[in-house]
Amino acid sequence: VACVATDFDFFYLVQQWPGSYCDTEAGCCFPGNEKPAADFGIHGLWPNYAACRPDAVTPNKTSCWPDFCNATDTLNPSLIRDLDSDLRGSWGTLSCKRKNSTEFWSHEWSRHGTCSGMGQRAYFRAALELKARLDLTGALRDAGIAPSDKAEYCLGGGGRNETQLYQVYVCVGRDGRTFFFLEYARSISLY
Ligand code: 5GP
Ligand code: 5GP
């Protein structure tokens, strides 16, 4: 595969709001049945192209990001063992299908981390540090937007007037440290 691991322009740090994930059809589960804090969790740190381009491998396909850059480079959990409690706190799985955060991290490493140009430990550390520095929940609270079952903000208009903020994508430079601007938030409509 003609794939260069460091061929990308920026990262998205993608964070998910647990309550909205739980309200999707798939529902949610927490490892150890520990309810997560009312805070965003990391979904991933994803290398992206600034402009979509013809795929290097598949004819007539367009790629907007590289993924699965090295099939033999699978996550070695022992390399991130010292990050385990931080990862469980900030990047825990909400999925009932897998229910296992290490599997979630392995998937994110294989699909996105292998294209980051970083080693395994550096990649997970970079995501944890970015999340801690950003404090998205705190920034929203400072702007008057706090988690609530009752308050309505600017995301109304879904099927039952229940459009919820689902994920926030923040742009980060190739160094994995420099925020450059808030790109977009994705919301989901619940029916
Ligand atoms: P969805 O279709 O749910 O938005 O995304 C499915 C998967 O495609 C994501 O989990 C992620 O692995 C990948 N993906 C979606 N959007 C992007 C993106 O903008 N950049 C990158 N790098 N991957 C993405
Ligand atoms: P992506 O969409 O990043 O390529 O892949 C997400 C994969 O990780 C899916 O297979 C999904 O089932 C699994 N997964 C495990 N835990 C989570 C979680 O907490 N959130 C999301 N979005 N996907 C998770």
Q: Hey, which of 65, 169, 172 would you mutate to test ligand 1's pocket, going by the most ligand atoms within 8 Å of its Cβ?
A: 65
What digits encode the pLDDT tens for the residues 126-178?
Answer: 999 999 999 999 999 998 999 887 888 875 555 556 788 999 999 999 999 99
Lowest-pLDDT range of 31-40, 41-50, 70-79, 111-120: 31-40
Annotated catalytic, 112?
yes
At residue 98, the pLDDT reads 81
* pLDDT > 60? residue 2: no
At residue 181, the pLDDT reads 73
| Average pLDDT of span 61-90 | 97
* pLDDT > 90? residue 121: yes
**Which listed residue (25, 34, 103, 112) is catalytic?**
112
For residue 83 the two structure tokens come to: 């990050």
Annotated catalytic, 107?
no
Question: What are the CB-based long-range contacts (under 8 Å, 24+) for 79-88?
Answer: 79/119, 79/120, 79/121, 80/105, 80/120, 80/121, 80/124, 83/121, 83/124, 83/125, 83/128, 86/128, 87/124, 87/128, 88/31
Centroid of ligand 1 to alpha carbon of 61 (angstroms)? 16
| Average pLDDT of span 14-18 | 96
- Tell whether ipTM is more than 0.90: yes
Centroid of ligand 2 to alpha carbon of 14 (angstroms)? 12
